[in-house]
A and B are shown apart, each in its own frame.
Chain A
Amino acid sequence: MTTQDPIIRVQHMTGGFEGSVVIDDISFEVYRGEVFVILGGSGSGKSTLLKHMIGLHQPVTGRILIQDEDIVTAEGEQRTKILRNIGVMYQMGALFGSMTLLENVRLPLEEFTDLPLEAMNLIALMKLKLVGLEGFTDYMPSEISGGMQKRAAIARAMALEPAILFLDEPSAGLDPITSADLDQLILGLARNLAVTFVVVTHELASIYTIADRVIMLDKRVKKIVATGRPQELRERSTNPWVTQFFNRQASTGTGKATGETVKGTHT
Chain B
Amino acid sequence: MTRVAAVHPTGSFETRLSPDRAILTLLITGHIDTNSTGRLWRQVLHVLEQSRPVEVVIDASDVSYCDGAGAAFFVKLQQHQAGTGGHVTIRGLKEEFRRLLDLYGDVPREAPTGKHREPLSLVEQVGHFTIGIWQDVQVLMTFVGELMAALLRAARHPRLVRWSDAWLSAERAGADALPIIALIGFLLGLILAFQSAIPMRRFGAEIFVANLVGVSMLREMGPLITAIVLAGRSGSAFAAELGTMKVREEIDALVTMGLEPVRFLVVPRVLAAVSMTPILSVFANLFGLIGGALVMVSLGFPLITYINQLLSAVTVGDFLGGLVKSLVYGIVVAGIGCLRGLQTASDASGVGQSTTSAVVSGIVLIAIVDGVFAVLFYALGV
Contacts and interface: CB of A to CB of B under 8 A. Distances in A.
Contact of A142 (B111, B112, B347): B347
A75 B71 CA distance: 32
Nearest to A94: B348
A192 interface: yes
A249 B112 CA distance: 50
B39 A121 contact: no
Interface string A90-115: 00000011101011001001001111
Interface string A113-132: 11110110111111101100
Contact of A96 (B67, B104, B113, B348): B348
Interface stretch (A4-12, A29-37, A133-141, A179-187): A133-141
A125 B111 contact: yes
Given A123-B68, A125-B111, A113 B75 contact: no
Contacts, number: 96
Contacts of B103: 130, 192-193
B11 to A, nearest CB: 13
Interface in B278-318: none
Contact of A119 (B76, B108, B113, B114): B76
Nearest to A119: B41
Max chain B C-beta neighbours (<10 A), residue from A106, A141, A160: A160
Interface stretch (B15-23, B30-38, B56-64, B261-269): B30-38
B71 to A, nearest CB: 7
B34 A125 contact: no
Nearest to B348: A97
Contacts of B35: 113
A119 B73 contact: yes
Interface residues on A, range: 35 or more
Nearest to A123: B72
Interface residues of B, number: 34
A119 to B, nearest CB: 5
B187 interface: no
Nearest to B116: A100
Contacts of A122: 72, 75-76, 107, 111
Contacts of B105: 129
Given A98-B347, A98-B349, A129-B104, A115 B111 contact: no
A84 B112 CA distance: 25
A161 interface: yes
B157 interface: no
Given A100-B116, A130-B104, A119 B37 contact: yes
Interface string B80-109: 000000000000000000011001110110
Interface in B24-56: 33-35, 37-39, 41-42
A225 interface: no
B125 interface: no
B69 A119 contact: yes
A102 B114 contact: yes
B346 interface: yes
Interface in B319-354: 346-349
A141 B67 CA distance: 27
A209 B72 CA distance: 31
B84 to A, nearest CB: 16
A121 B68 CA distance: 12
B3 interface: no
Interface in B93-141: 99-100, 103-105, 107-108, 111-117
B143 to A, nearest CB: 24
B112 A115 contact: no
B116 A138 contact: yes
Contact of B34 (A118, A141, A160): A160
A38 interface: no
Nearest to A97: B347
Interface of B: 33-35, 37-39, 41-42, 67-69, 71-73, 75-76, 99-100, 103-105, 107-108, 111-117, 346-349
23 contacts: A98-B349, A112-B34, A113-B35, A114-B38, A114-B39, A116-B38, A116-B42, A118-B41, A119-B37, A119-B38, A121-B114, A122-B76, A123-B68, A125-B107, A126-B71, A126-B75, A129-B105, A130-B104, A138-B116, A139-B116, A160-B34, A161-B67, A192-B99
For the complex of A and B, 6 pairs with smallest distance between CB atoms = A97-B347, A114-B38, A161-B67, A115-B38, A137-B112, A121-B111
Given A100-B114, A140-B116, 8 more contacts: A98-B347, A113-B34, A114-B38, A122-B72, A123-B69, A124-B114, A142-B347, A192-B100
